[in-house]
Structure 1
Amino acid sequence: MHIEKLDFENSPYLGVYGTATDRVVLIREGLGEKKLEVLRDVLKVPLIETSVMKSRIVGIFAAGNSNAIIVPWYIWDEELDVINNGLREHGIDMEVVPFKSRLTAFGNLILTNDRAALVSSKFTREEAKKLGDILGVEVERGMIADYHSVGSAGVVTNRGGLVHPETTDDELEWLRDLFKVDIRVGTANMGVPFVGSCMLANSHGVVVGHLTTGPEIVKIEEALGFLD
């Protein structure tokens, strides 16, 4: 299966609690083994259970692609050790970079795949360049549908992307050109427009919040390249 529905302790906002890449998934601590197994089966990469700044909302604070994961400067040393040790155990050569900024909600403010990154225009130009260098991709500053929270207003993989339904046609063309994948508009969890907060997705599959409807699932599958 390329897509499954799941909840985290009755919450449908899976993207709040994890960050998915094509090489690894960072996920909040304390999920049952059955739910972890669904994530492994669908996303097909190792999971590292962790907190960030002693919080379970890992997906709010962390963002990354196949090259690197960016975390707040204030991450605890023990948490950084957990992530780095997990990467080593799975033989994954990947950087975890604590990034110094007045902003810390990187998962909300960075949208990236392995080709490009869109970062909130709340970042300075200098910060945006540094973020692009860390992720190893072209970077642009901007918004999606007038929202700075580009990481929660969209989800993008190396196969496709889904963004806030109020995204304009011009913005869609710009995003397609930037990320080099087809990008469509849609919702999840019965009409929630902040799709990045509702799911965990990579090039192998997507796990969506349990409230997501059948028509929404079809659109998500099409947008993320899982339907011919």
Structure 2
Amino acid sequence: MIPTLEIMGTPVIGVFATCTEEVALVPHGIKVDAKDFIADNLHVQVLEIIMGQSSVIGSMIRGNSNGFIVPRDGLVEGLEGIGLPISILPDKLNAIGNIVLANDSAALVHPELSDHSVDIIAQTLKVDVHRGTIAGFKTVGMAGTVTNKGVLVHPRATVQELSFLEDIFELPVDVGTTNYGTPMVGSGLLANSKGYVAGSKTTGYELGRIEGALSLIGNR
């Protein structure tokens, strides 16, 4: 089975959904077969989230096995009973999924995030937090994807950025694309250490790069 999918009729699945080792958050009203596909490929519980009038859950929320960060303006319904800390980021930069790249050990965040916001992220996710860019982009949450096994980032990431990512995550880092050449890999990919789902336009070559970078060879 080829692990590709559309959510809300689009291949930019990372904009609409986000995942951790145990759960995936998706917009309310997603098709049942799409929920099942995500659950089967990532081996997670899939939760439908309501966040005001917004369906871009992946752009607005970021979490890991220790907690979730939500935006100050987003009234989020559906995380109740998840059993993890949920913190509001009181920052003007509030598209959390776009500006935070995190796994269970570290996080890279938008370089202009306030010290207070960095502290909230560190305490909630229980990770070391570092400011930085990927390929010069401050929206590091969409310029990369990280799991507990590997990191895949924008193909124009610099040598210095790649080295920094290797240092802070202590994982192998590689470059790639999704959805037939889209360099903002986080926009077209959901992944954890158990599996992945890519946007529907992702090519076989791109899938191979994803599997190699995230140590998921043989998951198809």
Common topology (TM > 0.5): yes
Match of residue 193 from structure 1? 183
Q: Is the 8 A contact 1:14 1:199 kept in 2?
A: yes
Match of residue 3 from structure 2? 4
Percent identity reads 39
Structure 2 residue matching 1:71: 3-state secondary structure: strand
Alignment of 1:127-146 (within 5 A): 127-146=117-136
Task: Name the amino acid aligned to 1:130.
Answer: I
**Take 1:206 and 1:59, find their aligned partners in 2: how far apart are those partners?**
15
Which region of structure 1 is more displaced relative to structure 2, 122-131 or 152-161?
122-131
Match of residue 56 from structure 1? 55
Match of residue 75 from structure 1? 74
**Take 1:221 and 1:25, find their aligned partners in 2: how far apart are those partners?**
19
Q: Is the 8 A contact 1:128 1:139 kept in 2?
A: yes
Q: TM-score, normalised by structure 2?
A: 0.95
Alignment of 1:75-114 (within 5 A): 75-76=74-75, 79-80=76-77, 82-85=78-81, 87=82, 93-114=83-104
For the pair 1:149 / 2:139, whether they are aligned, the reply is yes
**Structure 2 residue ranges without an equivalent (≥5):** none
**Take 1:108 and 1:224, find their aligned partners in 2: how far apart are those partners?**
20
Q: Is the 8 A contact 2:59 2:96 kept in 1?
A: yes
**Take 1:158 and 1:131, find their aligned partners in 2: how far apart are those partners?**
18
Deviation above 3 Å: which 4+ runs of structure 1?
A: none
Q: Is the 8 A contact 2:89 2:120 kept in 1?
A: no
Cα shift at 1:125: 2.7
Match of residue 90 from structure 1? none
1:8-36 Cα shifts (integer Å, max 9, x gaps): 24311000011100121111111111111
**Take 2:195 and 2:159, find their aligned partners in 1: how far apart are those partners?**
26
Structure 2 residue matching 1:51: 3-state secondary structure: strand
Q: TM-score, normalised by structure 1?
A: 0.91
1:73-111 Cα shifts (integer Å, max 9, x gaps): 2222xx34x2113x2xxxxx3112122111210000000
**Structure 1 residue ranges without an equivalent (≥5):** 88-92
**Take 1:9 and 1:65, find their aligned partners in 2: how far apart are those partners?**
24
Match of residue 44 from structure 1? 43
Task: Name the amino acid aligned to 1:114.
Answer: D
Match of residue 24 from structure 2? 25
Equivalent residue pairs, number: 218
Over aligned residues, Cα RMSD in angstroms? 1.4
Q: Is the 8 A contact 1:51 1:57 kept in 2?
A: no
**Take 1:181 and 1:114, find their aligned partners in 2: how far apart are those partners?**
12
**Take 2:79 and 2:182, find their aligned partners in 1: how far apart are those partners?**
31
Q: Is the 8 A contact 1:160 1:225 kept in 2?
A: yes
Structure 2 residue matching 1:84: 3-state secondary structure: coil
Q: Is the 8 A contact 2:149 2:214 kept in 1?
A: yes
Alignment of 1:152-191 (within 5 A): 152-191=142-181
